[in-house]
Structure 1
Amino acid sequence: MQLFKTILLFELKLLARQKFLLVLIGFFFAAGLYSIYEGYRFTQKQLLAIDSLRHGYQKKYQEAVASFSADTTTTAGKTLFNQAGIPAVIEYKNPLYAIYQPHPISILSIGQRDLVPYYDLITRKRNFIQGTDAEISNPEVLASGNFDLAYVIIYLLPLLAIALTYNTLSKEKEQQTDKLLSLQGLYFGRIISYKLVFRFMLIGVMAWLLSITGFISSAFLISFDPSAAILWLLSISAYLFFWFAIIFFIIRWSQSSVHNALYLLGLWSFFLMLLPALCNALARLYHPIPLKTDAAVALRENSEAVWALPRKLLIDTFYLNNPKYSHLRTSSDTSENSNKRFAAYYYLLGHRMTQVIENYNQYPEKQNAAAISLSWINPATKTQYMLNGIAESGWKDYLSYQDQVNAFQKTWVDFMNDYIVSDKKLSLNDLKNLPEFKLKEKANKNQHILFGILYLFGIGFCIILLAIKLPIKI
């Protein structure tokens, strides 16, 4: 312990004298603070938009409630009173929204949230294919994302670790102080290890301070999630441990400082550029995503085809698949402006488009599953997926949200059809108990993150054990 304290004090004094390293550390910390600011500003913008949607909905909702007691002595009041509770009017004037709410940690890892919609309009004639106009298949987008704290940790933190440690052993040899240290006998290897431990602690403390700063900033926007914060800190610690294991392995070769730097920068390029690009290329090659224009064409063609069906056939199909409404069947159902005709139209269109949606969604789901499977061979990419998973900002989280939105849309259609087919209006109590969309958390999310953390620590320990077998040449 005394030896460690001595080395700790020596390293602190040595670091204070090296202005370049201090500038590098300052740059890393400043980049981290700026990334937190960018994440905060982005999340704040989304939350303001969501808040505006909710205020707009509440305003329209209060107007709908007021229409039940409108003043019928005026023309406008009489119109409002007659429209009160009509399902089509309620849906048209005040449609529901499904919200993809930002997670408390999302300011630290924006992930795909800037590329995908964070709310969806829910109506019986909802646009069935939601999402961005462009396909998310760029490996840079999938692997790196935005300039958030996750980016700083994944990309810049290893570079800082390399700059602080690449010459830990080689410098002693080049200055010929290794001969003096070798007089300590078995302590020499421990001295080098303590030097690395000091640098690991230094960078780890900075990463933790930046993360805690992000947690505090996030608390001003969204309620704090302690379990997510703990998983985040463990994840970045495991990632840092992996890189220090790599560094320990390289410097044990006892090469020159230049060789160490080149080897480490080569490994950085391999893990953070070459391997992610190759993995994403493989995922896209074996699981390509079709253009969304195909789905848009299918929506248009199915809309026209369903509307062109003979009215009797359309109504028969509806009652055949919804026998609970059979007792409401009348001869007027096939009239041009029949409510049941419109209900049957939206039902059959939704049924056909459900198949189109399921067929389309299987491609991004398969590609995402392949990318996640391939991430196990690259600790850097695995860490990125872990951080996005903690922040619920990854592509997998969005696909889960979209599945829940599509399921809720069916619930909404069934709810409205009960009134439309029965030619009934919603009562004031019915209006107060409309279905609400609530986003559910993915099952076993934390377990997957914990497995990833153990995976990173496990790889790090294996590399260290392998490096220990390499003798230090004095």
Structure 2
Amino acid sequence: MLFLISFFFAAGIYSIYCGYRFTQKQLATIDSLQRGYQKKYDEVVAGFSADTTTEEGKSLFNQAGIPAVIEYKNPLYAIHKPHAISMLSIGQRDLAPYYDIITRKRNFMQGATAEISNPEVLASGNFDLAYVIIYLLPLLAIALTYNTLSKEKEQQTDKLLSLQGGYFGKIITYKLAFRFMLTGIMAWLLSIIGFAVAALLISFDPSAAILWMLGISAYLFFWFALIFFIIRLNQSSVHNALYLFGLWSFFLLLLPALCNAIVRLYHPIPLKTDAALALRENSEAVWALPRKLLIDTFYLNNPKYRHLRLPTDTSENSNKRFAAYYDLLGRRMTRSIENYNQYPEKQNTAAISLSWLNPASKMQYMLNGIAETGLKDYLSYQDQVNAFQKRWVDFMSDYIISDKKLSLNDLKTLPQFKLKPLKNKNEDILAGITYLFSLSFCIIFLSAKFRIKN
């Protein structure tokens, strides 16, 4: 027992360390991006007061405030910062990009800025605390409890205990309750350590911590309900161990693989190369349009700029021609990407629906939801990036179409990306926790139909 507890605790500490290092690396990247942006921003601001007595200063002064120059020298970043406890459940953060460059060319190809990762590591997943809780915690509970009743019968101490008076079943219940508390304390202690370590990197979130503790308690209670059911069948220790390990394999290996195969079969995701090909084809097709047709289309789609129309709009290097190009390309790519994005959204919706059949999968979605590292969180981030990109295009187009420069005050009021949390996130997580507790009580009620024979 001491060896098992020590191994589980060591695995939990190592998982916290792995999550800490992973999150620390992402935060370092984000900090580098922000410092680089601030440095370039200061250089752009300095251009407004450059020394015009020198050639270099004169060039910087003339370029100051030009929209295209500002966007080229110092593009904005949309950043998906780690949540307060994302290091405990990494989820999709190792696969999905957590920052994107915002330009007028709305290509929507998120992922192009992500770091190159080892595919072997991505295939095996991350060893985070969520993995320890979902996979190893049930094994620890099984190892500590599978022979709670059968050992007494095999050693024939059950008759001796019965002679002492009292109901023998109560003794078994107390032994299970003690092991539940022991296993729970291990999981709760590791979680508290994880919260403390995460607080070294990101501000602590009490509501997320409470949901996390409730979630792992519900999951542990489910497994002890299963163990109680198997024990009440009054089989030998070997049979109990085989049955429980079979249930562990079913819920954590077989059923997830089966559900994943069904989801992929009915909701396949097309290759992202199709979107990249659409971007290239649309880019070439829009640029090849006759200039007059391109300008006419732009003013048709943006009637607020019609009063600025000039005969020179169709010239080779007209700013309005470039603005019309990016506007039409963005509109065409919006349709293409909306068509592409419906596939992962449908797949994710189907996977979440099937997770109600498997408490282990439900637990994974819940922990990822609490840590904001699930696919649903990434899809929300992607949608918000695309919406912000359109807002940025509209903002810059006002200056380009009007042939104006940005002032120093305009630079201070540039649009900034702010990620909004998912709606009803906590309600969905609480519904999942209620589901686990309800399922566990149903199993316990069913187990009570079996009487232990002394």
Is the 8 Å Cα contact of residues 195 and 204 (structure 2) preserved in structure 1?
yes
| Amino acid in the other structure paired with 1:146 | N
Q: Residues of 2 paired with 1:419 and 1:272: CA distance?
A: 56
CA contact (8 A) 2:107 2:330 kept: no
- 2:177 maps to which residue? 197
* Partner residue in 1 for 2:204: 224
Q: Report if the CA contact (8 A) 2:83-2:372 is conserved.
A: yes
Which AA in structure 2 matches 1:383?
M
3-state SS of 2:404 partner: coil
Q: Which amino acid aligns with 1:465?
A: F
CA distances 1:373-427 after superposition (whole Å, capped 9, x unpaired): 0000000000000000000001111000000000000000000000000000001
Q: d(CA) in 2 for partners of 1:394 and 1:145?
A: 14
Q: After TM superposition, give the deviation of residue 141 of structure 1 in Å.
A: 7.2
Select which of 254, 257, 281 maps to 1:274: 254
- Counterparts of residues 123-272 of structure 1 (less than 5 Å): 123-131=103-111, 145-272=125-252
Tell me if the contact between 2:94 and 2:122 (Cα under 8 Å) persists in the aligned partners: no
TM-fit CA distance, 1:131: 2.7
Q: What code does the residue aligned with 1:356 have? A: S
Q: For 2:164 and 2:323, how far apart are their aligned partners in 1?
A: 87
Contact conserved, 1:306 with 1:345, CA < 8 A, in 2? yes
Q: Deviations over 1:173-223 (max 9, x none)?
A: 001111122235552111110100000000100100100000000000000
Contact 1:110 1:145 in 2 (8 A): no
SS in 1 for 2:100: strand
Q: How does 1:320-399 map to 2 (within 5 A)?
A: 320-399=300-379
Cα deviations by residue, 1:116-135 (Å, 9 ceiling, x for unpaired):
1110000001432213799x
Do structure 1's residue 110 and structure 2's residue 90 form an aligned pair? yes
Q: Report the equivalent of 1:119.
A: 99
1:288 to 268, 272, 277: 268
Question: Higher mean Cα deviation, 31-40 or 120-129?
Answer: 120-129
Question: 1:36 maps to which residue?
Answer: 16
Query: 2:247 & 2:367 partners in 1: Cα distance?
Result: 21
- Residue 29 of structure 1 aligns with an amino acid whose one-letter code is F
Deviations 1:217-265 (A, max 9, x none): 0000000000000000000000000000000000001100000000000
Q: Which residue of 2 aligns with 1:17?
A: none
Which residue does the alignment assign to 1:74? 54
For 1:104, what is the secondary structure of its paired residue?
coil
In the alignment, the residues of structure 2 paired with residue 380 and residue 467 of structure 1 have an alpha-carbon distance, to the nearest angstrom, of 21
Cα offset, 1:316, TM superposition? 0.3
1:1-39 CA distances to partner (integer Å, 9 max, x unpaired)? Answer: xxxxxxxxxxxxxxxxxxxx2111100000000000000
Distance 1:53 1:43 in 2: 15
Structure 1, 182-191 or 387-396: larger mean CA deviation: 182-191
In the aligned structure 1, how far is the partner of 2:36 from the partner of 2:387?
24
Structure 2 length as normaliser, TM-score? Answer: 0.97
User: 1:162, 1:264 within 8 Å by CA — same for their partners in 2?
Assistant: yes
Provide the C-alpha distance between the structure 1 equivalents of 2:177 and 2:16, rounded to a whole number of angstroms: 27
RMSD: 1.5
SS in 2 for 1:69: coil
Q: Is 1:459 aligned to residue 439 of structure 2?
A: yes
Question: 3-state DSSP class of the match of 1:441?
Answer: coil
Q: Tell me the TM-score normalized by structure 1.
A: 0.93
Residue 319 of structure 1 pairs with residue 299 of structure 2: yes
Could you tell me whether the CA contact under 8 Å between 1:314 and 1:344 is conserved in 2?
yes
Q: CA separation in 2, counterparts of 1:159 and 1:59?
A: 52
Quick one: distance in 2 between partners of 1:241 and 1:185? Answer: 29
Q: Matches of 1:269 and 1:73 in 2, distance apart?
A: 76
Q: Does 1:448 align with 2:439?
A: no
- Counterpart CA distance in 1 for 2:299 and 2:2 is 75
- Report if aligned partners of 1:104, 1:391 keep a CA contact under 8 Å in 2: yes
Which stretches in structure 2 are left out of the alignment for 5+ residues? none
Shift of 1:101: 0.4
Aligned residues of 1:112 and 1:393 also touching (Cα < 8 A): yes
Residue 401 (structure 1) aligned with residue 343 (structure 2): no
Alpha-carbon separation, structure 2, partners of 1:265 and 1:298? 49
Q: What is the percent sequence identity of the aligned residues? A: 81
